[in-house]
Each structure stands twice: as C-alpha cells, then as structure tokens.
Structure 1
C-alpha cells in the first residue's frame, strides 16, 4: 500500500518526537501537538489526544529501559502520577473551555519560562547542584530519595503541576517534570529524564482516557502510524542518550523549547 503525503508527514513527525523524548525525557508532546496542528490543519483540541497517545506509548518504552539501567526513581514517579491524576482531569475540562489562541499563548509562555529556568541551571555543574539548593535529596550511597514529609510534598507538587499541564495542553508533562526535578531535587539530568518518562507514561495514559471520555476522537490509522514511529524514535534515541553528557542533553532541550515557543507566538499573532 502506497503512503499518502499525510501519512509520510505523520511518520516523520512521530520519528522526530520519539528522538526528542528519548534524549530529553520531555519535548514529545510540546513538539507533537503544534506539529500535528500545522501538518494536519487540526485544532489543538483535535491534536492533543493523538499526540498524548503516542507520547505515552513511547514514554513507557523509555521508562522500561530506564528501569533496566536503574536510573528511574520509581517511588517518586508513582507518587507524581497519583498526585497528577485529579489535576489531569481538571486540565482536560479547562482545555475544552478555552479558545485556540489562548491555549497556544499559554503553551508558548510556559515553554519560555521553562527554557529560562534551564538556561540558569546550566551555570551549575551537574554533580554540584543538589546539596546547595535541593529541597528533596537522593542519597548518594543508595541512589534513592531520603523520604520525609518535605520530600513527599515536593514530589507530589511536581506531579500535580505536570498532571494539570498534561490535561490542559495535551502533552506528557515531561517538560515540567525534568526542570522541576533538576531545580528542587539533586537528581542528575539522566535520572530526571528516566524518571520523567515513567511519570509521562502513567499520567499520559490517564490524559488520553480523560480526553476520550470528554468526547475526543482518535483517527485509528493515523494514530497507529504516529504511535509506531514515535516508539521507534524513542528506542533509537535512548541508545544515543546514555552516551551524551547531561550538559549537552539539557542544551538540546532548551533549543527545542525556544523553537517551539517562537513558532507558537508566530501563529498567535498571525
């Protein structure tokens, strides 16, 4: 069967989304949603469930690989997923009440804020950022979080914020989880990325379910193409990511955020 131009574009977008997710632990949804809006002529509300389905599936594959390499802090990931469940539902409901332009503007402003925060973090070496400013600490001997009420509150808050963004913007939430883990804990970039992928897979699945219950529909053939190629890109990227220094991974993420934000601002004003 010959592929149409639309199918080819979807395959290309899916592969790029998977690569970005594998390298950064985020960026899949924030790239997939605007890419589908541009390529398919969809509204953001139409693109969200398709993007979120692919992002969740690819994140699950990346999380399994992270668990194998013992990079995932799975207790923290489970807490973030539980804390993000109700905010995800609230975000979905709000998204259906906002106009297309307001959603795009909110999306772009959030991306800019995250990019600025990550640029500031680049001034601090990866192995020295935790002890000075972290609210939640990973024990260097055990590789696990030192659990306390404060640690639980920090992790749950990150999950709640990412869950709300997942429902509102149709993204996996990794673009919130990664920088917040880096800022409020002493997790390395690679640990933050791997843990983020597990949370994205769990919360993203809830987001897809919420969207479908709210009346969203998924074009089956296009969605299947998108999921398969996104997963393929994720698998390839995770093999590359472990060979890249955390500093380079963070720079890639910042450049991605800036490019997507600029394109959304352009779309809003035009």
Structure 2
C-alpha cells in the first residue's frame, strides 16, 4: 500500500516504512541506541531526500526511545541526575547543530555533507565495535590484558567541580557528561541520529558507568535530545515529514518492546558483533553511493 509524503513529495510503501521503524525500534530496546544511524541511511537508499530523512527519522527516534526508557525506568536502571546533565549539554549542542544545518542548506551542500559524515562516523564506530566484539569472542588478543581496567579515564578524574552521582556510584565532574551530551546533540540535528552509539561507549569507557545503568540513562538522553531536535527542525528547516515520521513511529514503539525482551535473553557479545557488522555494511553502501558514478549525472526535479 503506497502513501503520499507531502514534504518529501513522493509516495512510499507504508508497510515497508512501518517494518523499517520496527527493526530500528528493536535495536533501540536492545542496545539503548536511537537507531537513527540506520534509519536515515536506509531512507536515503529508498530515495528520500537526505535533509528530510534526517529530520523525519529524529521524530521516530523520540517515539521509540519513550517505550524503551519506560521499561528501564520501571526496573530502576536509570541515573536521572547523570541524564539531566547530559540533556543540558545536548540542548546546547542541538541549537549549535541547527545553525550549521541551516548554513549547509543555504550553501546547497547539506546532502553531500550528511552522506560524508555518515561514512566517516559509521566507519570508525563500526570498526571499533567490531574490534571489541572480536576480542570478547576470543578471536583477537586483548591489549594489556594483565592490566586491570581503570574506573574512568585519568583526565576525566582530574576535572574540577566533581559531583556525586549516587545511582550509578560515580564521583566525576559534570563537565565530562555535559560535553558528551553537547556532541550528541549536534549529531542528532545534523545526522538524525539518537547518538546512543556514541553515548554507550562514552559512558562505559570514559565515565566508567556500570552497564546496568548505561542503556536506560542513554535512552533518557536520546529521548530528550531528539525531542528538542524535532522542534528545531520543525521551526527552522521545515524538513519534518509528519506522515513519514508517523509510519516510522508506529513500528518503532512496537519494536522497542521486543528489543528490551531480547536484550535479556541473548548474549551481549553476539549482539555487539551483529550490530558492528550491520554498521559497517551501511557505511560501505553509503561510501559506494558517494564514489559510484550514476547513470544520469544531471536530474531535473519539478516542484
């Protein structure tokens, strides 16, 4: 069943969009990621203009994160204080990212920059995740295996004005999670990603947060930042296609419930390996799209 998208100016298969949202919702519940790093590229592959894919997928991320966050909240696995600090940084980052997005729109280079940033970001994150997954599986030797891992990075421990985050048992400066939130907010506006695939490693490896609280706290941050980004895109860029967002949202909310269930039943190492391979495949496809010469170099679009 095809349905017309008023902002994108084209028709899409409604069932396929709902299934796409559902698949991304499953990832949200399993890994604590918004899933936009897969939603946006897949929409672009389908033929949705990159700027509209970014803005519309952000709406779906917000909806899918609500479902997953509430599940972790009921389990008491959310550090609200840490989440609020990152949300404050994410709000500032979202405003800064909107200015950059508008400048790229005016220069006519927004589509190119979105694709290029996705290739660089997904390629690097996917490679690091694949390496960690292979070490966990025993396929690669762990570096410095004899040295016990530090609670958090030394330079983070040296930051001033340290706060005590009672829920997660951390005593660190709010500057560190604030900066992490700021970077995530910028990426949410520019690329339509929830930022969970950056938040999760940052909270584990930089802040030293327990894995019990990482996913739920990440979803709280993703929810707030994506909601702010949706408002910014709606007011400034006018790129949010509400019909497309609604289709993705229906699937995303349902998928997130199944994702939280699967997260408790499947082995984390296997899940991490599968996610890393998926990210690298998407990055490779986007890189091919940038380098491959199209059959028609010029195209004319009637508005």
Q: CA deviation at 1:190?
A: 4.8
Matched residue, 2:280: 258
Q: Tell me whether 1:144 sits opposite 2:168 in the alignment.
A: yes
Matched residue, 1:103: 114
Matched residue, 2:89: 83
Matched residue, 2:16: 9
Q: TM-score, with normalisation over the residues of structure 1?
A: 0.87
Measured in 1, the distance between the counterparts of 2:119 and 2:271 equals 21
Matched residue, 1:139: none
1:165 aligns with one of 164, 187, 200: 187
Q: CA deviation at 1:69?
A: 1.3
Q: CA deviation at 1:201?
A: 0.3
Report the CA distance shift for 1:148/1:175 in structure 2 as closer, same or farther (over 3 A): closer
Measured in 2, the distance between the counterparts of 1:129 and 1:43 equals 44
Report the CA distance shift for 1:118/1:145 in structure 2 as closer, same or farther (over 3 A): farther
Contact 1:111 1:258 survives alignment (8 Å): yes
Q: Tell me whether 1:56 sits opposite 2:62 in the alignment.
A: yes
Matched residue, 1:175: 197
2:271 aligns with one of 246, 249, 253: 249
Gaps of 5+ in 2: 4-11, 137-141, 143-147, 158-165, 293-303
With 162-171 and 185-194 compared, the bigger mean Cα shift is at 185-194
Q: Larger % of strand: which?
A: 2
With 114-123 and 94-103 compared, the bigger mean Cα shift is at 114-123
Q: CA deviation at 1:220?
A: 3.3
Q: CA deviation at 1:268?
A: 1.1
Matched residue, 2:175: 153
Gaps of 5+ in 1: 137-141
CA RMSD across the alignment? 2.3
With 114-123 and 239-248 compared, the bigger mean Cα shift is at 114-123
Matched residue, 2:145: none
Report the CA distance shift for 1:129/1:260 in structure 2 as closer, same or farther (over 3 A): farther
Matched residue, 1:231: 253
1:193 aligns with one of 186, 201, 215: 215
Contact 1:19 1:234 survives alignment (8 Å): yes
Q: TM-score, with normalisation over the residues of structure 2?
A: 0.78
Measured in 2, the distance between the counterparts of 1:64 and 1:187 equals 20
